[in-house]
Amino acid sequence: MVQAKAGTTASLEFTNNSTFHFPNSTFFKSMGVKMEELKSIQWFPGHMTKTKRKIESQLKLIDAVAILLDARIPYSSCNPDLRSVVNNKPRFVVLNKCDMADSAETQKWIRKFKEKNISAIALDCKSGKGLNAFIPTVKNVLADKIQSWNSKGMTGRTIKVMVVGIPNVGKSSFINRMSKQSRAKVEDRPGVTRGNQWFTVGKGFDLLDTPGVLWPKFDDKLVGEKLAFIGSVKDDVLDTEHLAGRLLEYLRDNYPEPLCARYKMTMQEISDIQGYEILELVGRKRGMLISGGEINTERAAATVLDEFRNATLGKITLDKADECTDVRI
Ligand X SMILES: Nc1nc2c(ncn2[C@@H]2O[C@H](COP(=O)(O)OP(=O)(O)OP(=O)(O)O)[C@@H](O)[C@H]2O)c(=O)[nH]1
Residues that bind ligand X (CB under 6 A): 96-97, 99-100, 124-126, 165, 167-173, 186-188, 190-193, 211-212
Taking the least distance from each CB to ligand X, the nearer of 40 and 49 is 49
CB of 16 to ligand X, least distance (A): 26
Binding site for Mg ion (CB under 5 A): 171-172, 192-193
- Taking each helix axis from N to C terminus, what angle separates 134-141 and 143-151, rounded to the nearest 10 degrees? 70
**Residue 231 near which of ligand X, Mg ion, none (CB within 5-8 Å, type-dependent):** none
In sequence order, which ranges of 180-266 are alpha helices (DSSP H)? 221-230, 240-254, 256-263
Residues 6+ apart with CB under 8 A from 23: 9
Which residue number has the CB closest to ligand X? 212
Which one of ligand X, Mg ion, none is in contact with 237 (Cβ closer than 5 to 8 A by kind)?
Answer: none
Tell me how far, at minimum, the Cβ of 91 lies from ligand X, in Å.
Answer: 17
Distance, CA of 89 to CA of 136 (rounded, Å): 18
Closest distance to ligand X from the beta carbon of 253 (Å): 24
User: Closest CB to Mg ion among 42 and 193?
Assistant: 193
307's contact among Mg ion, ligand X, none, with CB below 5 to 8 A by partner kind, is none
How many angstroms separate the CA atoms of 304 and 184, rounded?
29
Q: Measured from the CB of residue 177, what is the shortest distance to Mg ion in angstroms?
A: 13
Closest contact distance (angstroms) between CB of 227 and ligand X is: 12
DSSP per-residue codes, 85-129 = HTTT--EEEEEE-GGGS-HHHHHHHHHHHHHTT--EEE-BTTTTB
Report, in Å, the least distance between residue 68 CB and ligand X: 7
Name, in order, each residue with C-beta under 8 angstroms of 205's C-beta and a sequence gap of 6 or more. 135, 138, 158, 159, 161
CA distance 100 to 111: 19
Q: How many CB atoms lie within 10 A of CB 67?
A: 25
User: Nearer to ligand X by C-beta: 169 or 301?
Assistant: 169
Q: Which is nearer to Mg ion, 166 or 301 (CB)?
A: 166
**Position of minimal CB gap to Mg ion:** 193
Q: From the list Mg ion, ligand X, none, pick the one residue 74 interacts with, judged by a Cβ distance below 5 to 8 Å according to partner type.
A: none
238 vs 281, beta carbon nearer ligand X = 238
Is 93 exposed, middle or buried (CB count within 10 Å of its CB: 0-12, 13-18, 19+)? buried
Q: Which is nearer to Mg ion, 3 or 172 (CB)?
A: 172
